[in-house]
Chain A
């Protein structure tokens, strides 16, 4: 609801991806996965979360606010002049924002750079043999990418870098909502078979239901690093009359639609 209201107040923003990503972020921040410290946001031993698909940042802003990184009332200032809640995130502009993204295929490289920096600080990690995410005591990097983003060549450059540099401290999470700006992802570019591709790049590839907390938590429990979770999600999740429609990738909300969505969300359809 906070995401919806902030996007409506902003007059623009990416609804579909924000809603497909929300449950993943909730699992990370409220499911005991991500080691974070809202009152000491740059705590040295925190896990780093990089949102490579920067356009879905309304979801991250809302989750960070709910987690206590900043005041919830700041969400009203999404995309407003002078507000740190930029339309796409800028590194360190707000507590909890680790990287500058908004042009697809860049945050993933920055996440690799952060992971490499953490390895320089803890060189022994590079010698581990595919450690489990949960077993790694030193900071880990969580990098969220979108499926349309996989069309950027630099994403695959980053995967090669990951393997070459033994980044045993990075987990990629693919928000696979099957839509992008101008169509369904499968009609824009043939990217399958993704699992084979990710495995060939040396990643532990697992599937999860991106709107099912038990499934997400189970996958976080078992995955090894470097790894990637293909999280099957639904664009505009929870808004039944808008779900899975690519047209809502970046469409501004009219007041009528906003009120209708608000009514539907208040009935609690985000329950599965």
Chain B
């Protein structure tokens, strides 16, 4: 557990994609079956160092994402562990049919490492700000989904995904984020960052720093004792931890940088609907809208995902 009362500013900013580079440096030596594929995005996804040092294990697929996923499935069928590094705006949507058939029905042991997920992509605008990926992939049986919050967690998530047998999707932010440590990633496990009694705040991915800042302000300014639970693994969901927390607090807020429809919050809601009654529930997400060009912080504010919006939602729930 980290000290939630530390100033967010005390965590240095780091790019979460650095975790990809660091994971590959480890895997290059520890796991000879790992090969890396990319659709002309080796530099943007931070697999360029691996490409330079291990050219025989880097497979350039060009701007042809459909073929890339099918190729990855073929490599997997021969015992390799393909890591596909691309933008979330293209993988999964551009090759969804291939993902469904090869990774879903065919269970190909392929790891999708998609960066530039969420509004934090910034100036590139709506076309590049993937918000629908969680909804899209959640519907496909057998694909695990992870949204790490920091570079260290990205690294741990990739190392864990390679150990798992079966397809995994990892969605990673583009912007530099507070490198909140230590988080201690465990696949499939929720991570209670602060215990509390009045409200369960479930957060996944890049908005962790905003949720952490909001938790702290809620404690001092609103006198609301929040249980802050970071959930990097969106699928499968750690239902045990969710229910344990909710049975104590009876109030739930979910936070994600993705479409509300089909998102992380809906997964939690489904658990609550199945096992619990009379829970107050609210969520922070993007509602029936695409992103837009702008700076990451500006966009989080505009689309009501930032600390301020989280605090408002907390106040509303608690009133």
Is B277 interfacial (CB-CB < 8 Å)?
Answer: no
As a 0/1 sequence over residues 72 to 112 of chain B, the CB contacts with chain A under 8 angstroms (1 = contact) are 11111111101000000000000001100110011110000
Of chain B, the residue at the smallest CB distance from A154 is B66
Q: Are A158 and B70 in contact (CB under 8 A)?
A: yes
Q: Are A102 and B101 in contact (CB under 8 A)?
A: yes
Least distance between A90 CB and chain B CB atoms (Å):
6
Q: Are B105 and A161 in contact (CB under 8 A)?
A: no
Contacts of A108 in B (CB 8 A): 70
Report how far A109 CA is from B106 CA in the complex, Å.
14
Q: Are A157 and B74 in contact (CB under 8 A)?
A: no
Quick one: which of B59, B64, B97 contacts A106, CB cutoff 8 A?
B97
Q: Are A116 and B105 in contact (CB under 8 A)?
A: no
Q: Are A91 and B59 in contact (CB under 8 A)?
A: no
Quick one: which of A101, A102, A117 contacts B78, CB cutoff 8 A?
A117
Contacts of B71 in A (CB 8 A): 109-110, 112-113, 116, 158, 161
Q: Are B75 and A99 in contact (CB under 8 A)?
A: no
Report how far A245 CA is from B75 CA in the complex, Å.
38
Is B130 interfacial (CB-CB < 8 Å)?
Answer: no
Contacts of A73 in B (CB 8 A): none
Of chain A, the residue at the smallest CB distance from B76 is A113
Is B168 interfacial (CB-CB < 8 Å)?
Answer: no
Q: Are B73 and A110 in contact (CB under 8 A)?
A: yes
Q: Are B64 and A157 in contact (CB under 8 A)?
A: yes
Of chain B, the residue at the smallest CB distance from A92 is B77
Q: Are B70 and A154 in contact (CB under 8 A)?
A: yes
User: Considering only CB atoms and an 8 Å cut-off, how many residues of chain A contact the other chain?
Assistant: 34
As a 0/1 sequence over residues 93 to 135 of chain A, the CB contacts with chain B under 8 angstroms (1 = contact) are 0000011111101111111111111101101000000000000
Report how far A120 CA is from B107 CA in the complex, Å.
22
Kindly name the residue among B75, B78, B105 whose own CB sees the greatest number of chain A CB atoms within 10 A: B78
Q: Are A100 and B105 in contact (CB under 8 A)?
A: yes
Q: Are A157 and B66 in contact (CB under 8 A)?
A: yes
Contacts of B79 in A (CB 8 A): 117
Is A153 interfacial (CB-CB < 8 Å)?
Answer: yes
Q: Are B106 and A91 in contact (CB under 8 A)?
A: yes
Contacts of A165 in B (CB 8 A): 59
Is B56 interfacial (CB-CB < 8 Å)?
Answer: yes
Report how far A229 CA is from B217 CA in the complex, Å.
69
Is A164 interfacial (CB-CB < 8 Å)?
Answer: yes
Is B60 interfacial (CB-CB < 8 Å)?
Answer: yes
Q: Are B62 and A120 in contact (CB under 8 A)?
A: no
Is A160 interfacial (CB-CB < 8 Å)?
Answer: yes
Of chain A, the residue at the smallest CB distance from B60 is A164
Of chain A, the residue at the smallest CB distance from B63 is A157
Q: Are A117 and B74 in contact (CB under 8 A)?
A: yes
Q: Are B73 and A161 in contact (CB under 8 A)?
A: no
Contacts of A116 in B (CB 8 A): 59, 71, 74-75
Report how far A181 CA is from B97 CA in the complex, Å.
20
Q: B residues bordering A, Cβ < 8 Å?
A: 35, 56-57, 59-62, 64, 66-80, 82, 97-98, 101-102, 105-108
Known contacts A109-B74, A112-B71, A114-B77; can you find 12 more A-B pairs with CB under 8 A? A90-B106, A99-B73, A100-B102, A102-B101, A110-B71, A112-B74, A114-B78, A116-B59, A116-B74, A120-B57, A121-B78, A154-B98
Instruction: Sample 11 A-B pairs with CB under 8 A, ordered by A number.
Output: A99-B74, A99-B106, A109-B67, A109-B69, A109-B73, A113-B74, A113-B78, A116-B71, A120-B56, A157-B62, A158-B67
